[in-house]
Chain A
Amino acid sequence: MSRGKPASVVTTGHAHALYVHGKSPVHRLPPECKVAALLVFVIAVVATPPRAVWAFGLYAAIAAAVLAVSGVPRRVVARRAVVEIPFLLFAVMLPFLGPPPDVAVGPMELSTVGLWAAWSIVAKGTLGVLASIALTATTEVTDILEGLDRLRVPRVFTDIAGFMVRYLDVILGEQRRMRVAMLSRGYDPRWWWQARALAASAGSLFIRSYERGERVFFAMTARGYQGHMPRFAREEAGARSWVLALALPTLAAAVALATATWLETPR
């Protein structure tokens, strides 16, 4: 974001610049290993019952260790974690809105069930966000798609996502120019009764994108496209990369399994 200009008008550079340059071992891992690792870790976290508080401590230690090794500045992690705030606000409401209050904390009457639900959202949400930051900050978007491709995600999805990544900036750029043109003629729609202008610009943005789609298709056809995107040979990730990437998530999965038995043991 450039300073001194209204944020609503000017956003610089690339809308998906989540990648933070680096040469850490986390950066160097093949993308398919990292995507798989994130998936295993998140499933382990989500599958863990909220009352196994110690397990979440361990997961947090794992996430923190990976982020520390990746060398992504803490400041960047904190700034990106902001996406979680709406969920946190929702979680804070739960102890008040849940089943009838049955516990007193200071002057407040709270519901135990609501408190556990809130804890569950905060803990699992935060761990999921941190792990996703570890992936997106160390892997270029195009590499993440390549990784999904290698994990055999259907190609129609990765191809569509690839086009989306490629054209996001182009379309945002068009949107920005249209908005600047509107502002330059003294119109700054912000309220619902001005929705007509916004709808009109959204409409023409759609038409422009549709026309661009046609031109891109011409350009593809001109180079021999016949309905299938070509695939390029690539190196398979080695066993060492897989072991390295999956070691900590596997530990998390083992802990998740252990919590299931731990809860069943009478204490």
Chain B
Amino acid sequence: MTTPALEVVDLCYRYPDGTEVLRDVGFHIHPGERVSLLGPNGAGKTTLVLHLNGIIEPDSGTVRVAGLPVVPEHLMEVRRRTGVVFQDPDDQLFMPTVWKDVAFGPANYGLEGEALAARVGAALESVGMTEVAQRPPHHLSLGQRRRVAVATVLAMEPEILVLDEPTSNLDPASRRELATVLTGLDITMLMVTHDLPYALELCPRSLVINDGRIVADGSTADLLADAELMAANRLELPLGFDPRVVVPRAG
């Protein structure tokens, strides 16, 4: 048995006001898997993401990234291993140019000179954004910014890529381009979304979270075809979309 890329055990978290956000959340993701985390608004998805790299500390339970527990003494290494792409690229891209933004992560880990330039170049190339390296992020379209946001994380050579709502506000063409970029990456992936067709296309396996609990874990095609499960968890397929007749790209 290989070490899971991500292992979450009995994770519980309450807001300071006492509201329970995560209740006994547990799952494993193995190297090379692409998994989507599905759930309605307010299910605790983003809170869970912030636990994966130690920005929020759990009340109880553990998170391990490639075997390394998320505890204060390992935070730097944990954050390199867990590459979180946040929902709003304007939050993620804060440096004056795209190049500097992609270099920000690896530079914090001591990379410099040629090695840094090579890392940044490779990351930008893998998302097809090499030509915008010297532009300021606010001059790019939303689709371009989201791809650059993925590059900023890839430059840290993480063990697992965590994407929070990667398709929100994207037009269909940008959504398609991002899918092409993501399927072309050879990396373990956890994609938080309520874009169900996107989950089906990119992720063979899905987890369903609702009200702070993992309520289902299985093949994305099976879960989406389970009308009762979908309805009980406020997950809605687009009109006319039948998951049983769609052949997923990932297999």
B152: interface (CB < 8 Å): yes
- Residue contact B108 to A212, C-beta cutoff 8 Å: no
Of the candidates A222, A231, A233, the one having the most CB atoms from chain B within 10 angstroms of its own CB is A222
Q: How many residues belonging to A are interface residues under a CB distance threshold of 8 Å? A: 28
B63: interface (CB < 8 Å): no
- Residue contact B91 to A216, C-beta cutoff 8 Å: yes
Of all chain A residues, the one with the shortest Cβ separation from B107 is A230
Interface footprint category on B:
20 to 34
Which of A170, A218, A224 interacts with B108 by CB under 8 Å?
A: A224
Distance of B97 from chain A, by nearest CB (Å): 6
- Residue contact B97 to A142, C-beta cutoff 8 Å: yes
Distance of A264 from chain B, by nearest CB (Å): 48
- Residue contact B50 to A218, C-beta cutoff 8 Å: yes
Chain B, range 75-134, C-beta contacts under 8 Å to A:
76, 79-80, 82, 84, 86, 88, 90-92, 94-97, 100, 103-105, 107-109, 112-113, 116
Q: A216 contacts which chain B residues (CB < 8 A)?
A: 91, 94
Give bound CA distance, A202 to B86, whole Å: 26
Please classify the interface of chain A as helix (H, G, I), strand (E, B), loop, or mixed, using the class held by over half of its residues.
helix
A71: interface (CB < 8 Å): no
- Residue contact A222 to B91, C-beta cutoff 8 Å: no
A265: interface (CB < 8 Å): no
- Residue contact A221 to B79, C-beta cutoff 8 Å: yes
Asked if A219 meets B112 with Cβ closer than 8 Å, knowing A230-B103, A232-B107, the reply is no
Of all chain A residues, the one with the shortest Cβ separation from B113 is A233
Binds B, one of A54-62, A159-167, A186-194, A253-261: A159-167
B206: interface (CB < 8 Å): no
Which of A219, A222, A232 interacts with B103 by CB under 8 Å?
A: A232
Which of A162, A165, A224 interacts with B80 by CB under 8 Å?
A: A224
Binds A, one of B7-15, B135-143, B194-202, B208-216: B135-143
Of all chain B residues, the one with the shortest Cβ separation from A221 is B55
A215: interface (CB < 8 Å): yes
Which of B91, B113, B156 interacts with A224 by CB under 8 Å?
A: B156
Q: A166 contacts which chain B residues (CB < 8 A)?
A: 94-96, 136-138
Chain B interface (Cβ < 8 Å from any Cβ of A):
50, 53, 55, 76, 79-80, 82, 84, 86, 88, 90-92, 94-97, 100, 103-105, 107-109, 112-113, 116, 136-139, 152-153, 156
